[in-house]
Amino acid sequence: MVVKRSPALLLACLVLAGVALFVRVYGITLRPLWLDEAYSAFAASKDLPYLWEMVPKYETHPPVYYSMLHGWTRIMGDRLIALRSFGVMGGMLAWVAVLFAGLALARLLRLDRGQRIRLLLVALAMAALSPPLVEMSREVRPYPWLILAYGGAIASMLRLADAQSRGRHIGWGGLLPYLASVLALLWLHNLGVIYVLGLTLGGVMALAPWRWSRAEWHKVLLGHVLVVLLWLPGVFILAQQSHDWIAKTWLTFNPARVAATIFDLWAVADAPGLFVALGLMAAGLIQNWVRRRSLGAGAMLLICALVPPLVAAAVSALVAPIFLRRTLTAIAIPALLLMALGAAGPARGGNRVLRWGLMLAAGAMIILLARINYYNRQAPFWEDWYQVVDQLRDRIKPGDEIWTYPNEAALPLSRALSDRGLDAVVRPLPVPVPALGVRGKHPTGSRSVVSITRVELRAIASTPQARRIPTIWTIRQGSNAYDPENDLPAVMAEQRDEIWHWYRVPIEVSGYRRRAD
């Protein structure tokens, strides 16, 4: 192991680990939970029976991540820093997975010491600064753990390929880590199956199954049967939700954005960046061919970087939109490994100009990644609920209420109110999440959120209790889906005077004061 033999390399790895941690935690508590994160916090606050019995009835993600987050909050608490630190931990473990994948790749291709050092340093630097990996680590969502599982599966496959190249048969010791990673992919996200498809196709290239013995085939098949059996409850959950998901999903699909999204996930921000990235990938494939007279490992990485988004695009075009950037962030791992392989350059005694040129190209990519991270930290927050609370702080009075429509807007709002130390009465319309059993439309396919009629909204606003409220502050989020006819403002205007209005995409706040009798 090169890391053990070289104190300088070990120090460099520790420095890069520090960089990775810094960019993931810097300013992490400045941004409030946005809607999806608030759903995670809401689920984590429930007990395990609720997570496994109720959450699958309205949530499109399996309950495993929420169970993990529930356990974490039981130990660390549910403050914002505790919630976000769970994702940071997953992101840092994914960075470690890149380290092990890089070591396995270098060993598989028999790279010399200089090439190994260059490959590892470039891979770790890119993984530390890759914007998709950084941004997902900063969110209270399952994606950093999904990235970790994908990186772990790739590292395990490379180790299997290395063992096979040295004449060893596939054994349970090498197979079980890969199977565990596959099972984690399936349980962490309903789209984990597209990653498993990419791994399967990549494995054909890296492991050459036509060379396996009968005993190896038996182990591989038996292992995958066990994975399927352990995933069966997840299949039933997916089948239960598929109709609403397909028929009413809020997602849209633009085929023209497929290539741009893939390049963006590879951390390519502009045309020069694309040129450098594709050049490094091509150099990685050539490096693979030179060292092994085969494109197995390099082709596996390319397949794992391309198949998931292409399958997602095909399903989006033919069945239902599932092509979403955040669900595809894990493809950054094989892409940056392939670039790092290209940056390793020729072996000692090879073309020195080419070696330095490739390292300069890799350095340019790393600078580009650092620049993107800098601008991401300067960008305005999406769904800035702290700004909403700050706007209401000096306006809301005792006896006032905040009504949120749809009901899910109450989740991030309540978290922001708590973080800012503001006590206010929040009423989700028509009922708190999840609105199971409430008649109405589900415009985005989620059974936890329901859109009701103007008549039903009027009935809520006309109760004696509602009429006595001095000022009702309404918050609408996603009104184009849940209130396209502006029913809530119309109902409020029938009985009250609008005294204030504020809008920042996608949140709209209005104040309605009771009319004098």
Cβ-Cβ contacts under 8 Å for 72 (sequence gap 6 or more): 44, 82, 86
User: Which helix H or strand E contains 278, and what residues bound it?
Assistant: helix 271-292
Within a domain: 397:
yes
Question: Structure tokens of 207?
Answer: 């492991």
**What string of pLDDT tens digits covers the 517 residues of the chain?**
444 567 888 999 999 999 999 999 999 999 999 999 999 999 999 999 999 999 888 887 899 999 999 999 999 999 999 999 999 999 999 999 999 999 999 999 999 999 999 999 999 999 999 999 999 999 999 999 999 999 999 999 999 999 999 989 999 999 999 999 999 999 999 899 999 999 999 999 999 999 999 999 999 999 999 999 999 988 888 777 666 666 666 677 889 899 999 999 987 767 778 889 999 999 999 988 887 667 799 999 999 999 999 999 999 998 888 888 999 999 999 999 999 999 998 888 778 899 899 999 999 999 999 999 999 999 888 899 999 999 999 999 999 999 999 999 999 999 999 999 999 999 999 999 999 889 888 887 788 899 999 999 999 999 999 999 999 999 999 878 889 999 999 999 998 999 999 999 899 999 999 987 6
Rounded to a whole number of angstroms, the CA Rg of the chain reads 26
Residue at which a domain ends, from 378, 409, 432 = 378
- Is 341 found in the same domain as 424? no
- Whether 124 and 192 map to the same domain: the answer is yes
Domain identity same for 453 and 324: no
In a domain, 189, yes or no: yes
435: CATH: 3.40.50
Query: Domain boundary at 354, 378, 402, which?
Result: 378
Tell me: do 339 and 474 sit in the same domain.
Answer: no
Domain presence at residue 118:
yes
Strand partners, 403: 427, 474
Residues 373 and 284 occupy one common structural domain: yes
Q: Note down the domain range covering 412.
A: 385-514
Provide the b/e sequence for 486-502 (b: ≥16 CB within 10 Å).
ebbbebbeeebeeeeeb
One domain, residues 200 and 327? yes
Per the listing, tokens 């609105």 go with 435
Look-up: residue for tokens 């270098």?
106
Kindly list the distances between the CA atom of residue 441 and the CA atoms of 435, 450, 453, in Å, as whole numbers in the listed order: 11, 5, 9
Residues 346 and 476 in one domain: no
Residue 477 lies in a domain: yes
Write down the pLDDT at residue 246: 63
Domain boundary among 378, 412, 441: 378
Whole-angstrom CA distances from 466 to 229, 458, 460 are: 52, 11, 7
Question: Where are the alpha helices (H) located in 396-511, listed in sequence order?
Answer: 410-419, 454-461, 464-467, 479-482, 487-495
Residue 3 counted as domain residue? no
Considering the domain architecture, whether residues 337 and 479 belong to the same structural domain is answered as: no
| The two structure tokens encoding residue 177 | 């880590």
- Using DSSP, state whether 241 is helix, strand or coil: helix
Q: State residue 2's pLDDT score.
A: 44
Residue 462 DSSP label: T
In a domain, 310, yes or no: yes
Per the domain annotation, does 504 fall within a domain? yes
Do 288 and 358 meet the contact criterion of CB atoms below 8 Å apart? no
Specify whether the CB–CB gap between 424 and 417 falls below 8 A: yes
Query: Within a domain: residue 38?
Result: no
- Specify whether 70 is located in the same domain as 199: yes
Together in a domain, 290 and 326: yes
Angstrom distance (rounded) from CA 509 to CA 139 = 25
Give residue for tokens 């399927």. 228
268 with 319, same domain: the answer is yes
Q: Do 345 and 417 fall into the same domain?
A: no
Q: Which amino acid is it at 381?
A: F
Give the count of domains, the chain. Answer: 2
